[in-house]
Structure 1
């Protein structure tokens, strides 16, 4: 709850607006029900009124419309607050360097953060309604009929006490469910990645049975939460009906037997009672949802808070006197909860203009080594030294990320760049015809809800970003994987034209990519087995002469 309320303070304007809207809503609710009682009094008892029945009905219609608008406004504020909090949390989760496996991280970023949203979207708006509406109703009933106000004050506390007890149980069950989901997500990802191996060793049936058992277990955990919700709803309905019944009994006795109240007063009491108890009851149901969000929040902030406690000591430095552009000195890295080093004691000099092919079997540590060079990960041991401040680094990944934005914004990364420069890199990656065929050209929206691009076109969009940025050191993670021959040729040509004299590190499996390099580093089990530098010196001198 502490972490969830922290974001309420961060976006304090939303709770303030909710309080104002709900106070207005509470006044409208009281006025609406008093007006309905007045209409019933005129119609059933022929009571005299200074205002015509038609005018009263018109006022009632306006009040009902205003109530709907205020209700919608309160819910909209909650939805906007939930959106801002989810966006903020996802940015934190994406940019931080978490220790959890990628499957668990994806589950947290998607399912768990979505699980937090109901706290702000449903629970918080209902809290303000549940405070304001009953408060204003009790104040009004103290002036209209004191006995009804006293019954409401005595019976109302039973509802929150009951749903607090159920809510605490729900919170624990929800945390258990979300924790299991993150673990199940990672196990499912591991099985999916090893599907070919499982088939080769005829273990796919056993894997299928395992997934079925674990998904069934997750279903059972979900059903436990739903069972608590149904039982909680049943008991809340019972307590609410009991409170409404007591108010109706007292009003009926006062009207029929004791004759100490008139029809309009009895009608107001009986009509306002359901409003009073339903507001508190709805908070009970929202409280159940809020406790589910607490369970999801525990999972999310467990990941975010662990990252914030990491040792901030950097293993990167700048030495302007060193000859190599990048120097790695006994660099090692191991992933959390693993014993084997992904990179084991690597010492390496990367000179300006080197075109390096990192080769080796899967799991040899090639990608991890490139991430250490790019400062995406920090070495567990050793140090990485650069020969200048703010050395410009770039990367072309196997799975490019396309923003839900225009082509121009995807290429420029939301910077102001002249169209001529943008079109130059677009032409270099062979997308000129595609851009010209689109109705809005560079301003055409792509991604979800926009123009859909093929995998090769997305890779070329990402390549155009790198070409426009012109980094001094660029890492290409198997740039030709999954591409047709024509697209591969375009990428290779662009690399030669733009990065011929710059430092290029290629994680390579294809012979065509390896042949394009002038230095080949073979890795195995996190270590450098061979470093073919002889061809590097000759080919680099040839480029410099050219």
Structure 2
């Protein structure tokens, strides 16, 4: 079963530190279409082919009125008709020529209709596909701080609904606009060539139509921008509620949440109603303007025919062309409605794509097999936005292959160290090195590929147990997966599942217990076989028996690799090579378990709390 790629947006415990930094795109005043096509350079040839097919289709679609006029001219003028002047004198032969021309015109019109339909639809699908992948790829490159002010539902709305809205416009709306413009140009040329005296009357409504169209665009744009924002908020609330359905049920807040969804949905409906109220008025108003031009051509052109100032055939062409010119303009309201929806969506997608990335990837390669795992934090200072530094002048030297326990009270900086080592955040001062190489200069994929993380907040994808263990090590064999599971003390419970390793776990692994999810997460990290392992409260969700089993496996898997163990239970780090005790972002104690207990400092006090030797103090001292 394929993993759901968008689940990669999940934020684990490492991403839950509050921050107010939000990466905002630079203000871009370019038209949405210009912004779009700057991202669709590879499709420009297909765009021009589609535009060309639309124009040619409309040109041949406008030819029948001319053929009808020619037929009227043949019937009325006979040997003095326009076709007769080309050398075909016999009236029946003239009709045969017209019939042949009609077949050719209709054939070409049909061929180009197929061409523009095929080109636009496939172009819409291609741009939709490429834009979605580019937007999703860009999201993955953004720093975690960006996600703190963004809901996953809102991002899903952009990646899915907004891009689909753009696809719908490219599928039909773009072709309609091009055909209207082509009609206006071709018919205008024909009018002024055939009957300049009548042309101005037919053209009279066009300036008013164009003015009204641009006016409606300006009025509609902010309304549809609000529509897109409202649907994003609605999707965000829906995604949030679905993720927290267990909490909703446990607090019996179903009615409250239904009201909240109703409020968001109603706001979305009202935003749409405001836009619909305006866009629906466009076509009726345009129709009243159009009828003026049509009636003027009909009456004044007929008067010229009666005065023998205009040929009957030409008059027929003018009447038909007037209808062909003006009547499609009544559909502009619907087209502009679709256009404004698409442009509002385009701006949202482009704003996402242009959101700056503040953590730059390095250019130095790092092969995990060549990493010894010596870690050094040299005079590191880091503060979350608008907060006091959590680390200031921090120094820590971890030899290659050492197993280090990191303990301390809430807010002492334990999880921040992991954030910095994985470059989820950048320090404001100082440097962090692996084997002497500054991690800011390393390629991000190589850096993170050299580090295996087992987090307290485990995320499992909707898929089989085997797929979840092999996630990130997709070329692993079944035997390797099972070996990693055994090392994590997970093999026994896995084989007791209905389908063993092929058992499908629910989204986020909700069908498994916390301890089972934790052991799968450990197996996943062990299968990766990185030179550096980080366990962030990896045994916090397991019972004592399971902890003892995991501890036995840790004693094996930590050999010949650097291991950092952030622990709530001090028994987990008891056998570490040395233990670092943090307090308020500083190292206050450092050494082996026995020595720290003997020193009777902070670590000794925490130890006594957990072993029950210090009464009246709960275990909430640690996190």
TM over 0.5: yes
Alignment of 1:6-405 (within 5 A): 6=35, 8-32=37-61, 34-35=63-64, 50=96, 67=113, 70-71=116-117, 73-100=119-146, 102-104=148-150, 106=152, 109-114=155-160, 116-117=162-163, 120-123=166-169, 128-142=174-188, 144-146=190-192, 147=199, 150-151=203-204, 153-170=206-223, 173=226, 222=268, 225-253=271-299, 258-259=304-305, 260=310, 261-262=312-313, 263=316, 266-278=319-331, 280-293=332-345, 296=348, 300=352, 304-305=355-356, 307-308=357-358, 325-337=374-386, 339-389=387-437, 392-397=450-455, 398-400=457-459, 402=461
User: Structure 1 residue 90: deviation in Å?
Assistant: 2.6
TM superposition shift of 1:173: 4.4
Measure how far apart 1:293 and its partner are.
Answer: 2.8
Shift of 1:20: 1.7
1:117-166 per-position Cα deviation (integer Å, ceiling 9, x unaligned): 26742456667435531232134324654438634643442243213321
Equivalent residue, structure 1, for 2:616: none
CA–CA distance in structure 2, aligned partners of residues 300 and 153 of structure 1: 38
Q: Please tell me whether the aligned partners of residues 247 and 270 of structure 1 are also in contact (alpha carbons under 8 angstroms).
A: no
Q: 1:84 to 1:342 in 2, by over 3 A?
A: farther
Q: Residues 451 and 530 of structure 2 are in contact (CA less than 8 Å); yes or no, is this contact kept in structure 1?
A: yes
Cα displacement string for residues 172-230 of structure 1 (whole angstroms, at most 9, x for unaligned residues): 74697699889x97xx89xx89x89xx9xxxx99xx99x99987886676456424412
Cα pair 2:403 2:577 within 8 Å, conserved: yes
**Higher deviation after alignment, 235-244 or 480-489:** 480-489
Does the CA-based 8 Å contact 1:248-1:269 persist in structure 2?
yes
> 2:397 and 2:373 mapped to 1: Cα distance?
6
Give the structure-2-normalised TM-score: 0.62
For the 8 Å contact 1:354–1:536, the answer to whether it is kept is no
Query: 2 CA distance for matches of 1:528 and 1:427?
Result: 36
- CA gap 1:453/1:68 in 2 versus in 1, 3 angstroms: farther
Query: Higher Cα Rg: structure 1 or 2?
Result: 2
Structure 1 distance, partners of 2:336, 2:98, is: 40
| 3-state SS of 2:453 partner | strand
1:87 to 1:330, Cα distance in 2 relative to 1, 3 A: same
Partner of 2:592: 533
In 1: Cα distance, 2:186 partner to 2:473 partner: 56
Q: Distance in 2 between matches of 1:75 and 1:31?
A: 21
What are the Cα deviations for residues 52-89 of structure 1, in whole angstroms up to 9, with x where unaligned?
99997999699669636733641442243133223222
Q: State the shift of 1:233 in Å.
A: 0.8
1:471 aligned counterpart, secondary structure: coil
Displacement after TM superposition at 1:256 (Å)? 5.6
Counterparts of 2:37 and 2:136, CA distance in 1: 17
Structure 1 CA distance for aligned equivalents of residues 465 and 64 of structure 2: 54
Instruction: Report how many aligned residue pairs link the two structures.
Output: 509
- Equivalent in the alignment of 2:22: none
Query: Alpha-carbon deviation of 1:274?
Result: 2.8
**1:395, CA displacement in angstroms?**
1.6
Give yes or no for contact 2:392–2:585 (8 Å, CA) kept in 1: yes
The question of whether the paired residues in 1 share the 8 Å contact of 2:124 and 2:167 is answered with yes
Q: Deviation of residue 331 (structure 1)?
A: 2.8
Aligned-residue offset at 1:241? 1.5
What SS class does the counterpart of residue 281 from structure 1 fall into? helix
User: 2-side partners of 1:85 and 1:324: how far apart?
Assistant: 39
CA contact (8 A) 2:469 2:527 kept: no
Structure 1 unaligned blocks of 5 or more: 315-322, 538-546
Distance apart, 1:524 and its partner CA = 4.4
**What CA RMSD, in Å, does the superposition of the two structures yield over aligned residues?**
5.7
Question: How many Å separate the matches in 1 of 2:233 and 2:155?
Answer: 15
The whole-number CA distance in structure 1 between the counterparts of 2:552 and 2:105 is: 75
**What secondary structure sits across from 1:359 in the alignment?**
strand
CA contact (8 A) 1:90 1:113 kept: yes
Are residues 332 and 74 of structure 1, via their aligned partners in 2, closer, same or farther at CA, if it must alter by over 3 Å?
Answer: same
Q: Does the CA-based 8 Å contact 1:331-1:379 persist in structure 2?
A: yes
Distance 2:295 2:165 in 1: 37
Provide the C-alpha distance between the structure 2 equivalents of 1:383 and 1:257, rounded to a whole number of angstroms.
89
C-alpha distance in 1 between matches for 2:465 and 2:59: 50
Shift in alpha-carbon separation, 1:13–1:52, aligned structure 2, 3 A: same
TM-score of the superposed pair, with normalisation by structure 1: 0.69
Q: Is the 8 A contact 1:355 1:519 kept in 2?
A: yes
2:292 partner SS? helix
Q: 1:409-429, CA deviations, whole angstroms, 9 ceiling, x for partnerless residues?
A: 983747766776566546656
Tell me, in whole angstroms, the C-alpha distance in 2 between the residues paired with 1:496 and 1:59.
82
